[in-house]
Structure 1
């Protein structure tokens, strides 16, 4: 039996990027099935499922084999808590300056809508938690902590340093990460920390952590480094003696960092490659996360469309239903999220998702900072129909409501059957401007 609960949809996008959304996920209380999903034409075109409607043709790109050093497999399945459409990888953490006492952690969510690595404290071994990963301190000697704001909640915990390995790639040195939930709830700044519920446990997140690999090299940038803006908008807090936490400015080199931007090689971007899945869902899906763009024989920039973006990967000149919207490709969102009053919402069992009586197609024109424009069509099936098969965890046509009409979140359903590219912002060092493509 499958039940629903309010949950994070992978949405940390910097202090000014938080999306106000109803983002619900499915949680299985009994064991789900394994193996691949049905991709037969009868399943894709079932008249009962479509109810007289129609869906756009699904993309058909396949991921490359995750055998090279600059690749790692992406798994979508039941995971740690039965959450739908959660892509995960394995990440290895080592104490700064050593390759001993390292720990590999599975089920870390791949989130292209956020920046930096965040690991739940309960999954760390005692050696790493109790000194192996040192807590960052400010010049005053105060501990450094962060309140990372997502669409429907926040993560609270210390900033620590670790050497990070993913697949065959390793950061050139130790980088700042967030350890979630290692500080008592009594230390959460109020006011000052994010709205919504705390997302500080594996159960809350539906994963053991979050790997933010979007276009920004740090999770806050100049906003948190500049004392004038940090006073009101910084994600970071100084905690003298580990308590009495107050918002603070933090230099770039102490901000939670995008691991990919700090790899010794293949550090200019990522490609998220997911296989096609049936329009009625699949029990699992296996893709490939490729590091670097144009740096190896397996990561050429082969996108049909590329878009220059702001620092956070947003395409701010996109248009949906005649209205200019901020669109973004976010693997950390488990559905498409956008506002459309013409689509029927589900009842309380699937609150926040769309449940149209027949299959629907919607189109959005994507536009970034350049003149490039491209129209994309997405398919939408009723969430109640999709969730009728409780063994399925991968869906390419699930959609839900977002607060307001100014954002369009192209979540994980967009990624199935596509290669989606993220060029990391390197302008501070005279390199490339951020971009996305597919």
Structure 2
């Protein structure tokens, strides 16, 4: 999940990019969140989508009937489409519509055994209760620098291909702590962000403040951080952050959706996008990307970017903020194993898996469990990008566990919404080049999300459409690999970061 900030030259993505990141493309189970009424505007704009009675087994029909009673109406997952998801959506439709259409079609395919055939006949997939696929996990001995990574359906049951870790935060100088689960592991951003709703009442994290008026009163600091799928607005506070058995002291973190006191009204800088919490099925984001801080020098000086704000009861005003007070990459603040991370994910077979567990290992070449080995180093350019060549065209590229699919432009692949839905598993190759060095070919196989079984938590999916301006190696790229992320300026066995190595 790469942050978007105009003028922050290491990012470079334009603000108008509206690609969905962390959005639940696949609905893993029946829920009232995906009712027909919620998606009625989409259906009204898509005459090709027609309702039909459920075409699954009697047991599945009973499940849908029960969901109808629970939700007060029949969930969209219990209808089926008369159009094949393998047919390309008309390109004239706006991206936002195609994105919503993907949710409708995939809900039909995955959640209740709906049909995908062009003639409207149903192809019933096995239910979760009969899923005998074994769990898939990386075998690594527990250690103080190891955190498990779990893929599941998230707190609300809407997540897919999203890696979650648990993080413990404490009030500095006390033993008042709370462990937060379902925090997204994100190599595309830096800093810890926790949803206000996930914090228990009484955990009084002190606010980060700046000197305000002439009287020298302390003014609390708020933050508006833009991501590709929306923004996070809330307070900036201090917390001790524990990752596994390692701890960073008094780090600045963001508590988003914190509308208490002076943070009650988000500034105009946050009005151009939706709140990320509307599409993020998680309790927070752990940004372990290439940077030490989420803004750095662009938020210092006389003309800072509108990211940090001094907040009083009357509103919030953009302000400069020293790096020592900015939201920081927690890994860089640890006492040990602080030069980066190693992400190890198991190989995921075609058809996906119902249980996937990987590991986040703190540090690079700081212990026997995080050695570089034969991994090749890819240093980005000054803007934080690699170069990727696909079918003769070259694009900016990066590695991002916070994106749940591999995103790249290909006008020849069939689309279902913002995802690609090939008729059969399709082998593809992309050549990647660092700022300096020889290209390396990355081979991967793409499968259609329409073919996935109920209960699947992760699979090798991709998307983007012909207008995608970059190659984003999202979470499926990490399956079956160990990927190292070295923090800028941190010394490692292969030289100073920033770099990726795999």
TM-score (norm 1): 0.82
Query: 2:181 & 2:455 partners in 1: Cα distance?
Result: 21
Query: 1:327 & 1:118 partners in 2: Cα distance?
Result: 25
**Residue 213 in 1 paired to residue 288 in 2?**
yes
Query: 1:364 & 1:221 partners in 2: Cα distance?
Result: 32
Residue equivalent to 1:165 = 242
Please say if residues 388 and 394 of structure 2, whose CA atoms lie closer than 8 Å, have aligned partners that are also in contact. Answer: yes
1:303-341 deviations in Å (ceiling 9; x for gaps) = 4321012467531x3222322211111111111112211
Query: 1:406 & 1:263 partners in 2: Cα distance?
Result: 36
Tell me how many residue pairs correspond in the alignment: 388
- Helix, strand or coil for the counterpart of 2:202? helix
Query: 2:382 & 2:331 partners in 1: Cα distance?
Result: 15
**Residue 77 in 1 paired to residue 165 in 2?**
no
**Residue 137 in 1 paired to residue 189 in 2?**
no
Please say if residues 35 and 284 of structure 1, whose CA atoms lie closer than 8 Å, have aligned partners that are also in contact. Answer: no
Query: 2:370 & 2:224 partners in 1: Cα distance?
Result: 34
More displaced 10-residue stretch of structure 1: 295-304 or 285-294: 295-304
Residue equivalent to 2:27 = 27
After superposition, where does 1:57-206 map in structure 2 within 5 Å? 63-82=138-157, 83-98=159-174, 100-128=175-203, 132-140=204-212, 141-171=218-248, 173-183=249-259, 187-190=265-268, 192-193=269-270, 195-200=272-277, 204-206=279-281
- Helix, strand or coil for the counterpart of 1:126? coil
Equivalent residue for 1:256, pick from 324, 327, 342: 327
- Helix, strand or coil for the counterpart of 1:404? coil
1:264 is displaced (CA, Å) by 0.4
Q: Which runs of 5+ in 1 are unaligned?
A: 1-9, 41-59
**Residue 390 in 1 paired to residue 451 in 2?**
no
1:344 is displaced (CA, Å) by 1.4
**Residue 274 in 1 paired to residue 345 in 2?**
yes
1:401 is displaced (CA, Å) by 1.1
Larger Rg: 2
Query: 1:66 & 1:384 partners in 2: Cα distance?
Result: 36
Equivalent residue for 2:443, pick from 373, 377, 380: 377
1:107 is displaced (CA, Å) by 0.9
Please say if residues 258 and 264 of structure 2, whose CA atoms lie closer than 8 Å, have aligned partners that are also in contact. Answer: no
Query: 2:383 & 2:336 partners in 1: Cα distance?
Result: 22
Query: 2:471 & 2:166 partners in 1: Cα distance?
Result: 29
Please say if residues 66 and 288 of structure 1, whose CA atoms lie closer than 8 Å, have aligned partners that are also in contact. Answer: no
Equivalent residue for 2:354, pick from 270, 279, 283: 283
Query: 1:34 & 1:118 partners in 2: Cα distance?
Result: 35
Moved over 6 A (4+): 34-37
1:368-424 deviations in Å (ceiling 9; x for gaps) = 2221421112211122123xx1210111x2011168343111111011111011011
Q: Which runs of 5+ in 2 are unaligned?
A: 32-126, 213-217
Residue equivalent to 1:407 = 470
- Helix, strand or coil for the counterpart of 2:324? helix
The change in CA–CA distance for 1:427 and 1:39 in structure 2 (over 3 A counts) is closer
1:70 is displaced (CA, Å) by 0.5
Residue equivalent to 1:363 = 429
The change in CA–CA distance for 1:37 and 1:416 in structure 2 (over 3 A counts) is farther
Residue equivalent to 2:405 = 335
**Residue 424 in 1 paired to residue 487 in 2?**
yes
The change in CA–CA distance for 1:330 and 1:35 in structure 2 (over 3 A counts) is farther
The change in CA–CA distance for 1:34 and 1:274 in structure 2 (over 3 A counts) is farther
Residue equivalent to 1:354 = 420
Please say if residues 308 and 369 of structure 1, whose CA atoms lie closer than 8 Å, have aligned partners that are also in contact. Answer: yes
Query: 1:186 & 1:240 partners in 2: Cα distance?
Result: 10
1:300 is displaced (CA, Å) by 0.8
The change in CA–CA distance for 1:427 and 1:107 in structure 2 (over 3 A counts) is closer
More displaced 10-residue stretch of structure 1: 248-257 or 303-312: 303-312
Query: 1:427 & 1:354 partners in 2: Cα distance?
Result: 38
1:250 is displaced (CA, Å) by 1.2
Equivalent residue for 2:391, pick from 315, 321, 337: 321
RMSD: 2.6
1:174-197 deviations in Å (ceiling 9; x for gaps) = 11000010116961112x126331
Please say if residues 29 and 455 of structure 2, whose CA atoms lie closer than 8 Å, have aligned partners that are also in contact. Answer: no
Please say if residues 20 and 402 of structure 1, whose CA atoms lie closer than 8 Å, have aligned partners that are also in contact. Answer: no
More displaced 10-residue stretch of structure 1: 29-38 or 246-255: 29-38
Query: 1:35 & 1:96 partners in 2: Cα distance?
Result: 48
Query: 2:288 & 2:363 partners in 1: Cα distance?
Result: 12
